[in-house]
């Protein structure tokens, strides 16, 4: 006779309770604690019914005894995806891909599945095989190695896996799966945890990489228990502004690589396209000299990236001046305006200030501060900044211009893209000796103003 056990879980953060209560102590949400039935059976195993007695035991080894051979990687033809993973998929690894609805998670993974030179099983619990076929037709790619399965029960999925024997398993999405061993409904905390641990077990025992798609909650976290992120080997996030075409694939956790890498894609009518030179498209092309724009040399992960900052400063029509930003931290804008007011004597207190980073991307690299200052001053004075000038420095509260990390890389990228001068802090240690770009060293906002506007 199966023993029925129940526990209470907060559906928002996954905290477990022994009995019901109105508010979750951990996340302070009300009415999120729900009783879930855990139906205990003999032994949960990814192979339904069969109980594998693991004979493999490991013994402790000295570090020098451990084989230091480089982890084998299964490469896809998508170089952005390979790079974010640190070189490709590691056999037996479990990767979680999160992102807002409609951002393109299913498209990205289907596309990768269709381009992979390995046998792939794409399991969808969200869409019918026909819908997936329609998507594949949009991507316009045919692959005899890619199998599509619509199924939500893990035990059935494992049965199909035994038949198909895929090299790579993709699950869209973990929130739609359910396991027989747990009574509660799909998407509940205990189901997500159980299904994930079955899949992890499958991945480790068969050395098959598994990629899971995960939904995110309204505050941007991956839905389900927080431990989900601890259980998997890598967590990737697909983000971007839905109204723009650019998408960024970021790594939040990676046991086999750096989390500083990121991939940039463009969503087109026929799928996602890798963007190998993002700087060129993020800078708008026009011939006129327009006031209020400045180019910043930023770093996204490890890659240098040139972005365009646009500012509009105008006299406030209403009593309270408005400050509005897209892609830039609003508090940081207020700080910069306060510094300009106090340290450089600009009367911006009674003006509306709008700030925009073009391309719909958002940047939190402090090195774009100087470009923000330049854009604001350029709009305020209505004097255009030369198109071939760019900036890479942080602004301090005292109005000082502070050094930024990896300045050499930023200078080289600016030089490569044909900029004629770059403004950096005087306190930055520069080791490169660029030939085709002039490096302007500045230490105070006043220096920038004299250099730019005379």
Could you list the residues that contact Mg ion (CB under 5 A)? 106
Q: Please compute Rg for the chain using Cα positions.
A: 26
By beta-carbon proximity to ligand TYD, the closer residue of 127 and 205 is 127
Q: 310 — phi, psi (to 5°)?
A: -120, 135
Site residues for ligand TYD, 318-347, by CB under 6 A, read none
By beta-carbon proximity to ligand TYD, the closer residue of 135 and 303 is 135
Q: Are 116 and 73 in contact (CB under 8 A)?
A: no
Residue from the set 96, 112, 267, 311 that interacts with ligand TYD by CB under 6 A: 267
Site residues for ligand TYD, 297-316, by CB under 6 A, read none
Distance CA 239, CA 260 (A): 15
- Extended beta strands in 216-370, E state: 234-240, 246-254, 262-268, 271-274, 293-300, 303-315, 323-326, 351-357
| Residue 222 sits in the site that holds ligand TYD (CB under 6 A) | no
- CA 440 to chain CA mean position, Å: 33
Q: Which does 292 bind (CB under 5 to 8 A by kind): ligand TYD, Mg ion, none?
A: none
x/- mask, ligand TYD, residues 138-157, rule CB under 6 A, reads xx------------------
Residue from the set 106, 188, 325, 380 that interacts with ligand TYD by CB under 6 A: 106
By beta-carbon proximity to Mg ion, the closer residue of 92 and 99 is 99
Q: Which does 101 bind (CB under 5 to 8 A by kind): Mg ion, ligand TYD, none?
A: ligand TYD
Q: Are 310 and 328 in contact (CB under 8 A)?
A: no
Nearest to 300 by CA among 449, 108, 83: 83
Site residues for ligand TYD, 270-289, by CB under 6 A, read 270-271
Distance CA 85, CA 46 (A): 26
Q: How far is the CB of 364 from Mg ion (least distance, A)?
A: 27
| Residue 226 sits in the site that holds ligand TYD (CB under 6 A) | no
Residue from the set 49, 102, 345, 454 that interacts with ligand TYD by CB under 6 A: 102
Q: How far is the CB of 339 from ligand TYD (least distance, A)?
A: 40
| Residue 99 sits in the site that holds ligand TYD (CB under 6 A) | yes
By beta-carbon proximity to Mg ion, the closer residue of 126 and 205 is 126
By beta-carbon proximity to ligand TYD, the closer residue of 105 and 193 is 105
| Residue 269 sits in the site that holds ligand TYD (CB under 6 A) | yes
By beta-carbon proximity to ligand TYD, the closer residue of 267 and 374 is 267
Give me the numbers of helices (H) and strands (E) for the chain, helices first please. 11, 21
| Residue 244 sits in the site that holds ligand TYD (CB under 6 A) | no
Residue from the set 47, 119, 135, 323 that interacts with ligand TYD by CB under 6 A: 135
* 173 preceded by a cis bond (ω within 30 of 0): yes
Q: Which does 135 bind (CB under 5 to 8 A by kind): ligand TYD, Mg ion, none?
A: ligand TYD
| Residue 359 sits in the site that holds ligand TYD (CB under 6 A) | no
Residues 6+ apart with CB under 8 A from 254: 85, 86, 233, 234, 235
- 422 CB-contact burial (10 Å; exposed 0-12 / middle 13-18 / buried 19+): buried
Q: Are 80 and 249 in contact (CB under 8 A)?
A: yes
Q: How far is the CB of 451 from ligand TYD (least distance, A)?
A: 43
| Residue 243 sits in the site that holds ligand TYD (CB under 6 A) | no
By beta-carbon proximity to Mg ion, the closer residue of 127 and 180 is 127
- DSSP SS3 for 416: helix
Beta strand 323-326 with 246-254: parallel, antiparallel or unpaired? unpaired
| Residue 380 sits in the site that holds ligand TYD (CB under 6 A) | no
By beta-carbon proximity to ligand TYD, the closer residue of 139 and 312 is 139
Longest dimension (CA), the chain: 87
Q: Which does 269 bind (CB under 5 to 8 A by kind): ligand TYD, Mg ion, none?
A: ligand TYD
| Residue 128 sits in the site that holds ligand TYD (CB under 6 A) | no
By beta-carbon proximity to Mg ion, the closer residue of 106 and 379 is 106
Q: Are 354 and 292 in contact (CB under 8 A)?
A: no
Q: Order across the sheet with 293-300: list the strands.
A: 323-326, 351-357, 303-315, 293-300, 389-392, 421-425, 438-442
Q: At what angle do helices 129-139 and 105-115 cross, to 10 degrees?
A: 70
By beta-carbon proximity to ligand TYD, the closer residue of 242 and 342 is 242
Distance CA 382, CA 435 (A): 32
Q: Which does 410 bind (CB under 5 to 8 A by kind): Mg ion, ligand TYD, none?
A: none
Q: How many CB atoms lie within 10 A of CB 280?
A: 11
Distance CA 29, CA 231 (A): 24
Residue from the set 98, 104, 225, 359 that interacts with ligand TYD by CB under 6 A: 104
- Give the binding-site size for ligand TYD (rule: CB under 6 A): 15
The residues that touch ligand TYD, with contacts defined as CB under 6 A, are: 99, 101-107, 135, 138-139, 267, 269-271
């Amino acid at each position: 006779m199966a023993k029925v056990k129940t526990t209470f879980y907060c559906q928002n953060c996954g905290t477990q309770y022994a009995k019901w209560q109105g508010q979750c102590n951990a996340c302070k949400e009300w009415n999120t604690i729900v009783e879930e039935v855990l139906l205990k059976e003999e032994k949960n195993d990814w192979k339904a019914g069969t109980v594998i007695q693991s004979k493999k035991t490991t013994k402790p080894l000295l570090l020098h005894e451990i084989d230091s051979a480089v982890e084998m990687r299964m490469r896809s033809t998508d170089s952005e995806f390979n790079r974010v993973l640190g070189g490709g998929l590691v056999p037996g690894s479990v990767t979680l891909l999160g992102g807002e609805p409609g951002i393109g998670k299913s498209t990205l993974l289907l596309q990768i599945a269709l381009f992979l030179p390995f046998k792939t099983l794409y399991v969808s619990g969200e869409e019918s095989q026909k819908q997936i076929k329609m998507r594949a037709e949009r991507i316009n790619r045919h692959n005899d190695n890619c199998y599509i399965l619509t199924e939500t029960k893990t035990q059935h999925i494992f049965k199909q896996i035994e038949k198909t024997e895929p090299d790579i398993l993709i699950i869209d999405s973990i929130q739609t799966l359910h396991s027989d061993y747990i009574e509660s409904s799909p998407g509940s905390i205990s189901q997500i945890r159980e299904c994930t641990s079955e899949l992890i077990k499958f991945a480790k025992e068969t050395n098959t990489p598994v990629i899971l798609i995960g939904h995110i909650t309204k505050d941007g976290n991956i839905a389900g228990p927080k431990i989900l992120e601890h259980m998997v080997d890598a967590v990737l996030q697909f983000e971007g502004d839905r109204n723009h075409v650019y998408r960024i694939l970021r790594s939040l956790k990676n046991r086999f690589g750096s989390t500083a890498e990121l991939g940039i894609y463009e969503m087109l009518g026929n799928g996602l396209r890798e963007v190998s030179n993002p700087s060129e498209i993020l800078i708008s092309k026009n011939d006129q000299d327009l006031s209020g724009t400045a180019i910043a040399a930023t770093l996204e992960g490890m890659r240098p990236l040139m972005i365009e900052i646009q500012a509009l400063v105008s006299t406030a029509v209403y009593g309270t001046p408005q400050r509005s930003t897209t892609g830039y931290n609003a508090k940081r804008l207020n700080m910069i305006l306060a510094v300009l007011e106090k340290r450089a004597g600009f009367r911006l207190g009674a003006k509306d200030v709008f700030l925009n980073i073009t391309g719909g991307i958002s940047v939190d690299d402090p090195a774009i501060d100087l470009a923000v200052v330049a854009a604001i001053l350029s709009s305020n004075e209505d004097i255009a900044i030369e198109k071939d000038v760019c900036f890479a420095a942080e602004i301090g509260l005292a109005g000082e211009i502070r050094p930024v990390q990896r300045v050499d890389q930023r200078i080289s990228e600016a030089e490569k893209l044909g900029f004629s001068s770059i403004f950096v802090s005087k306190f930055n240690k520069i080791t490169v000796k660029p030939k085709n770009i002039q490096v302007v060293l500045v230490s105070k906002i006043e220096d920038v103003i004299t250099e730019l506007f005379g």
